[in-house]
Amino acid sequence: MASLRILPAMTLTILFYILFYVVADTAVATDAPDYLVQGRVYCDTCRAGFETNVTEYIKGAKVRLECKHFGTGNVERSVEGVTDETGTYKIELKDSHVEDICEVVLVESPLANCAEVQATRDRARVVLTRDDGICDNLRPANPLGYFKDVPLPVCSELLKQFDLADDDE
């Protein structure tokens, strides 16, 4: 009779250990990134200060994700990225940065005729914490841009549509 009482207890113990290992196995850290920062780098072919329908996206542009501590300003994390053929970069990050201000910054353009940094498009801030209510790990960054040395011929007419054309032309 005593052995019959042991059987349910052993079964419960075995089930407990199986459940524990299944849960523990899924709780183990994975190689998947916690965050995926994604954005684009473009050449402002009209020197307009924003993207237009003649904007060209830059393949091979270098960017850097920098996370600086909010209080000290010290760089806590720095990760480099390079754009693909569509001008898109993707930077994977494994950890959260609750006390940091993180920005993607331009590093280098591969185009000699489009390498002048736009003062207002040289960096894009991204939030890399779960404390912001965003559940998705994709963190889009605003586009970053360089100025083309000489605007395309079509730009004068194009900028008139935005009422931005230089009246001296």
H runs (alpha helix) in the chain: 2-27, 155-161
Average pLDDT of the chain? 82
- Distances in Å between the Cα of 29 and the Cα atoms of 23, 24, 26, 87 are 12, 10, 8, 32
Distance (Å, whole) CA 141 – CA 164: 26
CB under 8 Å, gap of 24 or more: what pairs does 156-165 form? Answer: 158/46, 158/52, 158/53, 158/54, 159/46, 159/48, 162/48, 164/48
pLDDT of residue 104: 97
Q: Which residue has the higher pLDDT, 1 or 54?
A: 54
Structure confidence at residue 117 as a pLDDT band (50, 70, 90)? very high
Q: Is the model's pLDDT at 79 over the cut of 80? A: yes
Residue 140 has pLDDT above 90, yes or no: yes
pLDDT in tens, 1-16: 555 555 565 665 665 5
Give the mean model confidence (pLDDT) for residues 49-58.
94
pLDDT for residue 74:
87
Split at pLDDT 50, 70, 90, the class of 135 is low
Number of other CB atoms surrounding residue 59 within 10 Å: 15
Q: Which of 139, 135, 147 is nearest to 102 (CA)?
A: 139
Enter the pTM of the model: 0.74
90-109: average pLDDT: 86
Please report the pLDDT score of residue 73 as a whole number.
86
Give the pLDDT mean for 160-168: 68
User: Is residue 43 very low, low, confident or very high in pLDDT (cuts 50, 70, 90)?
Assistant: very high
Angle at 94 between CA 90 and CA 99, to 5 degrees: 105
CA dist 89 and 41 (Å) reads: 8
